[in-house]
Amino acid sequence: MSKLTRRQILLGGGALAASGLIPTIPKTPLTPQMRMMSNAIAADLPRPDYVIRLGANENPYGPSRVALKAIHENMHITNRYLMDPRPLMKIIADLNGVTNDHVMVGAGSGEVLATAGMLTGMRGGSVVCADPTYQSLLRYAQRAGVDIIRVPVNEALNADLDGMRAALRSDTTLVYLVNPNNPIPSVIEKNAMREFVLEMAEDYLVFVDEAYHEYADSPDYGSMIDLIAEGHNNIIVSRTASKIHGLAGMRVGFGFAHPDLIAEMRWRKTGGNGVLGLKAAEASYQDSEFQDFSIRKNLESRAIVYEMCEELGLRYIKSNTNFTFIETGMENQKVQDTMREHGILTGRDFPPYNDRWTRVSMSKPEEMEYFVQVYKRLFA
């Protein structure tokens, strides 16, 4: 079986890296076991000499050049407790039309989710959410003894807002939404979303996770940070530097809420940010060129996968994120195992859809072309 080198498979990305517009990022090497695996059906396909990661919704190009420069320039102060988040807080507040006292900087949006889960646990009762959806906040709340009321998505695989209304109980304390959703990359129509959030916030704390905000390109999508800017209380919105900014390993995220609620969340947060993550995020959020580049490449990659699905007659979800959800008709574990034999890591199981659906993260267009070739050769 012939091998593709990193230089060959990167195509235009390699040229950009050489020019300094984007960084060259070390790849995950193939393990000896993966090198030994082969499948006669796809044995003649050129194979990369590294693992293609299509399972964690990461930005394959990040961090940006300016973020890496900021990391390098601040290495010499990593021996100090210089972890002042206020400069980054100011950048994020200005970008979103709020003041600093509306913003919490966390160790990834995971810390914001954990803090909200802790607050919910202290209040007790129940949480209402769509199902399936991102689980982090729900896990923290459940560990604190809170009941999780999971409302299945509708036939279009979108959050069932009427179903969530009907599921509310007298002890409900929080309503949780992920928009765009994960693992199903759909969005809730912005006017319906705004009406629902305002209605829920009259009686419950509402948490909206917007981790994939920058990738959302549907005219139906709208952020709920505007509600916070308008002065509404009882609403929390989270964002992250882990996705389009490529800083997943640096753990930088944000919570937005009314100043009174932010003050309580800051007081209860349990972690902190490292200086390198803060400096990298400061630089990255001011690098619109890299963000625009990442969005363009993500659109190219999505188009490649969509074309495959259309050709093979596979149902898929038009994405507002850097991943899509494909009805392969096979157990997800089978897709995972088979793809792994060819150096491709796809998404984990997402019950109850793991019997027919697979989540596929977007990587570089040339890597998605390889994914399509392997998938068609193995399963078409």
- Give the CATH number of the domain where residue 304 resides: 3.90.1150.10
pLDDT at 69: 97
CA pair distance 197, 176, nearest whole angstrom: 10
Higher pLDDT, 341 or 10: 341
What pLDDT score was predicted for residue 179?
A: 97
Residues recorded for the chain: 380
How far is Cα 364 from Cα 380, in angstroms, rounded to an integer? 23
Any domain includes 142: yes
Q: Residue 33 phi/psi, 5° resolution?
A: -65, -40
Q: Are residues 230 and 213 in the same domain?
A: yes
Average pLDDT taken over every residue of the chain:
88
One domain for residues 94 and 194: yes
Averaged pLDDT for residues 191-202 = 98
- Rounded Cα distance between 178 and 214, Å, is 14
Confidence class for position 113, pLDDT limits 50, 70, 90: confident
Checking if the pLDDT of 24 tops 60, the result is no
The verdict on 146 and 260 lying in the same domain is: yes
The CATH number for 181's domain is 3.40.640.10
Same domain, 138 and 244: yes
The 10s digit of each residue's pLDDT in 78-104 is: 988 878 899 999 999 999 999 999 999
pLDDT surpassing 70 at residue 15: no
224, 130: one domain: yes
Per the domain annotation, does 69 fall within a domain? no
Q: Choose the final residue of a domain: 247, 262, 284.
A: 284
pLDDT of residue 115: 83
Pair 111, 216 in one domain: yes
pTM, entire model: 0.87
Q: How confident is the model at residue 235 (pLDDT cuts 50, 70, 90)?
A: very high
How far, in Å, are 132, 190, 307, 317, 376 from residue 314 at the CA level?
20, 28, 10, 10, 12
Q: What is the mean pLDDT of residues 103-132?
A: 87
- The verdict on 225 and 322 lying in the same domain is no
Does the structure show a pLDDT above 70 at 18?
no
Q: Does residue 269 lie in a domain region?
A: yes
Percentage of the chain exceeding pLDDT 90: 73
Q: Could you list the residue range(s) of the whole structural domain that residue 169 is in? A: 78-284
pLDDT at 1 over 80: no
* pLDDT of 28: 58
pLDDT for position 43: 60
Q: What is the pLDDT of residue 189?
A: 97
Whole-number pLDDT of residue 84: 87
pLDDT above 70: residue 112: yes
- Where a domain ends, among 284, 307, 342? 284
Furthest C-alpha separation in the chain:
63
Confidence of residue 6 (pLDDT cuts 50, 70, 90): very low
Picking from 284, 303, 335, the residue at the C-terminal end of a domain is 284
Of 12-26, 129-143, 227-241, 257-271, give the lowest mean pLDDT range: 12-26
129 and 151, same domain (yes or no): yes
Q: What is the pLDDT of residue 26?
A: 56
Number of domains in the chain: 2
326-348 confidence digits (pLDDT tens): 999 999 999 999 999 899 999 99
Domain membership flag for residue 73 = no
* Residues 268 and 300 occupy one common structural domain: no
224 within a domain of the structure (yes/no): yes
Contact (CB, 8 A) for 189 and 177 = no
Residue 27 banded pLDDT, cuts 50, 70, 90: low
The DSSP output letter for 11 is: T
The pLDDT assigned to 80 comes to 85
**pLDDT at residue 87, rounded to an integer:** 93
Interval 138-152 mean pLDDT = 93
70 inside domain = no
User: Is there a domain that residue 308 lies in?
Assistant: yes
**Are residues 130 and 264 located together in one domain of the fold?**
yes
pLDDT band at 44 (very low <50, low <70, confident <90, very high): low
Residue 337 is assigned to a structural domain of this protein: yes
Higher per-residue pLDDT: 336 or 273: 336
Question: Using CA atoms, how far apart are residues 208 and 194, in angstroms rounded to an integer?
Answer: 11
Could you tell me if 26 and 47 lie in one domain? yes
Within this chain, do residues 107 and 34 fall inside the same structural domain, yes or no?
Answer: no
Q: For residue 361, give both structure tokens.
A: 């993260």
